[in-house]
Amino acid sequence: MKSLHPQPLHTLMGAQFLTAFADNAILFTAIAMVLQAGMAEGWYIPALQSTFLIAPVLLAPWVGQLADAWPKPRVLLAGNLLKLTGTALILLGIDPLLAYAVVGMGAAVYGPAKYGILPEMVGSAGLVKANALIEGSTIVAIILGTLVGGKLADYSIDLALMLIILSFALSILIALLLPNLPARGAEPQPLRHFIGRTRRFLQTGRARFSLLGAALFWGAAAVLRVALVGWAALVLGMNSSAEIGGLTLWLALGIVAGAALAPRLIPAQLLRRARMAAYAMGGLMVVLALMDNSLSAAIILTLIGISGGLFLVPLNATLQEIGHRAIGAGNAVAIQNFFENLAMLLGVGLYTWAAAEGANPGVAMGLLGLTVMLATLVIALHLPRIPEPLPETP
């Protein structure tokens, strides 16, 4: 069994930190660019975020094969090159919708390699700890990218874009320092194999619970982030992005804390415990909808984040372990990304439709919490008490 290798893992953390920082900085820079240009029609900014998610959904069958056909450090480099290209297109004046779609293509390529590389660097016993480190550093990067990107873009769009390009470039250079891991190898007819491997992946209760649970988490998180904007303005009287961003900060900090606690509270062999964190997350969303002041909202959002971190980290570790041993880590993460991004697209799409029909954001958050609890109950019904044998690799 492999042991946890600190130096390569910390190198990966550095590359991922810079990438996550740039990913979020570019989103808020693009939004600021749209607002300053007076193009902020009601559909434009949601469409901007949606273009980022389309590529990870459509390209899922192919990027998983790519992550296993090439050494994963090279795949990380290719994904960041695409992201850098998309950022440069914005700097050159290309429509942000098109340019941000190129960034989404880079994210589609980068994602399977980012998580698929972990089982090749650490043993199964170290996966939860490795995921906690990666998730924690990623959330910190998301916070900094959101704050720095938004504030710097208000001062200078070009300066913000140049900082983002520099971040992607540094991430590429750091990725070159990763060990030259061997490629697993890809297969012909990736779409047919993607469908077949998805069916095989869903055969075991642990994989099914982890895959659907991770999709549930990210779908709920995307809807909560959108609903929080309207709810904060309506209930708390917050009308500036800085104030609403402060609320989001508490959620992110909670996820960092939950990710740090996960290896001790929910090790991979005790995956059934994760469902309790999901029930807590959903229940706290219902409670949040009843709050009427910023202090109580900050406390509840922190608790939601802690529950979410506790829920997500063991699911990721389980998926990586099963995927690496059964269908290839790149394929497994591509399947995971497909379900997660599809859940986010569907969730945000449904919320956008409901908001257009005049739905109250507080009611929407309460219904979201109830949906999370009910969905967790359904997907946990067949979760085994002991690990099942993995499906054999064909």
CATH number at residue 99: 1.20.1250.20
- Does residue 90 lie in a domain region? yes
Per-residue pLDDT of the chain (394 residues; tens, 9 = 90+): 344 444 677 888 888 899 999 988 887 787 778 767 765 444 566 667 778 888 888 887 787 777 777 777 888 889 999 999 999 999 898 888 889 889 999 988 887 777 677 777 766 666 667 777 777 788 788 888 877 877 788 788 899 999 999 999 999 998 888 877 666 655 666 677 778 878 877 777 788 888 889 999 999 988 887 788 778 878 888 765 556 667 777 888 898 889 888 888 887 677 788 889 999 999 999 999 999 898 999 999 999 999 999 998 888 888 877 776 766 666 677 788 789 889 988 887 787 777 777 778 889 899 999 999 999 998 888 776 655 544 444 4
User: 31: burial class by Cβ within 10 Å (0-12, 13-18, 19+)?
Assistant: buried
Q: Which of 143, 170, 186 is the last residue of a domain?
A: 186
Q: Which of 163, 186, 209 is the last residue of a domain?
A: 186
Q: For residues 201 and 318, state if they share a domain.
A: yes
Per-residue b or e along 315-344, where b marks 16 or more CB atoms closer than 10 Å to that residue's CB: bbbbbbbbbbbbbbbbbbbbbbbbbbbbbb
Long-range contacts of 240-249 (CB under 8 A, 24+ apart): 241/150, 245/146, 245/147, 245/150, 247/294, 247/297, 247/298, 247/301, 248/146, 248/301, 249/143
Q: For residues 371 and 248, state if they share a domain.
A: yes
Q: How many structural domains compose the chain? A: 2
- Does residue 390 lie in a domain region? no
SS3 180: coil
Q: For residues 124 and 13, state if they share a domain.
A: yes
- Does residue 392 lie in a domain region? no
Q: For residues 48 and 136, state if they share a domain.
A: yes
The residue segments making up the domain with residue 343 are 188-383
CB 114 within 8 A of CB 13: no
Q: For residues 31 and 151, state if they share a domain.
A: yes
Q: For residues 257 and 243, state if they share a domain.
A: yes
Q: For residues 175 and 207, state if they share a domain.
A: no
Q: Which of 186, 204, 238 is the last residue of a domain?
A: 186
CB 18 within 8 A of CB 303: no
CA 286 vs CA 109, 306, 369: distances in Å: 36, 16, 5
CB 340 within 8 A of CB 218: yes
Our measurement of the distance from residue 50's CA atom to the centroid of its chain's CA atoms, rounded to an integer in Å, reads: 14
pTM, two decimals, is 0.73
